Structure 1
Amino acid sequence: MTHKQRRTIFYHNYTDDIVTLAHQDYQLPSKYRYHHSRLFNIMGRLLQNIVRMVISPICLWILHIHIKNRKILMPYRNKAVYIYGNHTAPLGDAFMPFRISHRLNVIVAPENLKLPVIGPLLPMGGAIPVPNTIHQYREFLSSVDDSIHQNKSLFIYPEAHVWPYATIIRPFDGTAFRYPIKNPAPIFCMTTTYQKSRWHKKPKATVYLDGPFQPEPNLNSKQQQEQLRNIIFNQMNQRSKLNTYEYVKYVKH
């Protein structure tokens, strides 16, 4: 890997928030509603189609995102799948799912709903915010269930916090892998790697898709979660070896 980085970021833990928003501590209101209506879904599909058309040239010409191995998803075009990804691009990770799937949901942190202009539109665009209370958790899980039952792609970033241009895969636990145990569907991962751009200061991003993966049927649910976590983590680590440019260097403080 080329080590001519342009910036060094110091961190204490892998769970540090490197990118902070103005409403970083925002929590969902106690009466927040997770929408399930047919009309909401129809409007959401329309909005997703518009977003897809708008962001396609942005991903290619501004963010320099190239997706490899997309063909493995072709047999699942109209089927439910889970797609886990490393979290290394605030804008790219928001746009990338629209380049990969034509019907989708994305699990997001609640502070994203406070982003100027686009924040209120995110749920209709497919965002499912993580709840803050146990009382909201049932509706959250219902939205996750709906995503699978409606044959959508559900995108999940198990690292939780975005680390821009990170070339390492940060450790994550098996919590995010309980969803495919409860509602089985093929599981994939997408790993973003970075290479030096010939024409631009910022690196180009190459995203590799891998899968499908399935839990081992002879294990109990807890063991299956851990097994899936290990499969995805190991696959991402293998792909991360394809990073060739360290635009940002992360150093433990």
Structure 2
Amino acid sequence: MKKKVIYYRDELHEEFSEAKISPKFIDEKYRYEGGRLRPLGRGLWYHLLAKPIAWMIMKIGFGHRIVNGSILKSARKEGYFLYGNHTNPVPDAFIPTMLNFTGSVYVIVHPANVSMPVLGRVTPSLGALPLPDTKGAFKNFLKTLEHHCDRHKVIMIYPEAHIWPYYTKIRPFVADSFQFPILFHKPVYCLTNTYQKRLFFKRPRMVTYVDGPFYPDESLPRGRQKQELRDRVYETMTKRSTNNTVEYIHYEKINA
């Protein structure tokens, strides 16, 4: 069967998710912590429904396997930031939960993830933290991150920002999001999702490699720390991406 080909020009800004959603504007009125019913919704949607659904979809649908995930066990006591490549809309929502099945994960997301007509009301209870659009919203966003960090939760970030389904390399990403673990004094781990041949299935198996911890180099100025931390994570993910054994979708750059 002929392989699907996607043509691109810009690794930093192009998006290839099939979902077309008009994102809401996240200003200071957005309630990151929600109302009094948010803890109840968290318990129902995340712990009782999302976790078993995630397990079934990942294990049965994607043959998911985790390599080196045991390094996260000791880190759960203090909480940490987790970074990963963004290559599949459904698995990327579930993999952080698979890595932290007994704990809680919060995911920094594009506002589109909380803008869907029905599901958009549920995703905040699942841990979605939309990126802010105003200074006032950013202040509330930071307070929410601090709240979760103080309670030793896991914060998941996809620094590539845009979904490229089944992409087998690591796209360049900026260092901005690495300011958060420095600000809140938390360790950094990274995951690298790879695609490997699977017997009797057209869709490849997803294998997730986990690495870390990474800490900022405090001998450097604060502004340089986040870039240096980003570079080490990027290099580690790039090395892990060589474990891909199948290209389900081919990406080809257009040189304009």
* TM-score after normalising by structure 1: 0.93
Bigger mean CA offset, 190-199 vs 26-35: 26-35
For residues 14-67 of structure 1, what are the alpha-carbon distances to aligned partners after superposition, in whole Å with 9 as ceiling and x for unaligned?
A: 120111433244433662211166763454244321211222111100122211
- The answer to whether the 8 Å contact 1:5/1:248 transfers is no
- The residue that corresponds to 2:97 in the other structure is 98
Q: CA deviation at 1:229?
A: 0.4
Structure 2: where are the runs of 5+ without partners?
Answer: none
Whole-angstrom distance in 1 between the partners of 2:115 and 2:37: 23
**Are 1:137 and 2:134 matched, yes or no?**
no
What root-mean-square deviation, in Å, do the aligned CA atoms of Structure 1 and Structure 2 show? 1.8
Whole-angstrom distance in 1 between the partners of 2:65 and 2:162: 22
AA aligned to 2:17 is V
Q: CA deviation at 1:114?
A: 2.6
> Secondary structure of the equivalent of 1:10?
strand
> Secondary structure of the equivalent of 2:159?
coil
Whole-angstrom distance in 2 between the partners of 1:46 and 1:60: 22
- The answer to whether the 8 Å contact 1:36/1:143 transfers is no
- The residue that corresponds to 2:185 in the other structure is 184
Q: CA deviation at 1:217?
A: 1.5
- The residue that corresponds to 1:77 in the other structure is 76
- The answer to whether the 8 Å contact 1:82/1:154 transfers is yes
Bigger mean CA offset, 15-24 vs 212-221: 15-24
Distance 1:99 1:245, change over 3 A: same
AA aligned to 2:52 is M
- The residue that corresponds to 1:40 in the other structure is 38
- The answer to whether the 8 Å contact 1:45/1:125 transfers is no
Alignment of 1:1-253 (within 5 A): 6-14=3-11, 15-28=13-26, 31-35=29-33, 40-41=38-39, 43-50=41-48, 51-101=50-100, 102-115=103-116, 117-253=118-254
Q: CA deviation at 1:117?
A: 3.4
Whole-angstrom distance in 1 between the partners of 2:190 and 2:2: 27
Q: CA deviation at 1:204?
A: 0.8
Distance 1:5 1:152, change over 3 A: farther
Distance 1:110 1:147, change over 3 A: same
> Secondary structure of the equivalent of 1:178?
helix
Counting matched residue pairs gives: 250
Whole-angstrom distance in 2 between the partners of 1:172 and 1:5: 31
Distance 1:139 1:30, change over 3 A: closer
Whole-angstrom distance in 2 between the partners of 1:217 and 1:37: 38
Structure 1: where are the runs of 5+ without partners?
Answer: none
Distance 1:24 1:199, change over 3 A: farther
Whole-angstrom distance in 2 between the partners of 1:166 and 1:16: 13
Bigger mean CA offset, 32-41 vs 227-236: 32-41
Distance 1:41 1:5, change over 3 A: farther
Q: Percent identity?
A: 35
- The answer to whether the 8 Å contact 2:27/2:137 transfers is no
